[in-house]
Amino acid sequence: MHWARQTAEDVSSEDELPPYLVPHSQEPIRILYADADLLLVRKPHLLLSVPGRHPLNRDCLISRLQQDYPQASMVHRLDLDTSGIMVIPLNRACHAHLSRQFQERLVYKRYEAVVWGVVEPDRGEISLPIASDWERRPLQKICFETGREAVTWFEVIAREGDRTRLQLMPQTGRSHQLRIHCRELGHPILGCDMYAHEAALAMAPRLLLHATELGFTHPTTGDWLQEACPADF
Which residues face 224 on adjacent strands? 217
* Secondary structure tally for the chain: helices H, strands E: 4, 11
Total residues belonging to the chain: 233
Q: How far apart are the first and last CA of the chain?
A: 34
C-alpha atoms less than 13 angstroms from C-alpha of 9 in its C-beta half-sphere: 1
The catalytic residue among 15, 35, 79, 81 is 79
What does each C-alpha distance from 175 to 26, 39, 163 come to in angstroms?
25, 23, 24
Q: Compute φ and ψ for 178, nearest 5 degrees.
A: -70, -40
- Which of 191, 163, 199, 195 lies closest to 177 in space, CA to CA? 195
Is residue 79 part of the annotated active site? The answer reads: yes
Task: Map 140-208 to HEC letters.
Answer: EEECCCCCECCEEEEEEEEEECCEEEEEEEECCCCCCHHHHHHHHCCCCECCCCCCCCHHHHHCCCCCC
User: What DSSP element (H or E) covers 199?
Assistant: helix 198-202
Which residues face 127 on adjacent strands? 151
Task: Point out the residues that are catalytic.
Answer: 79
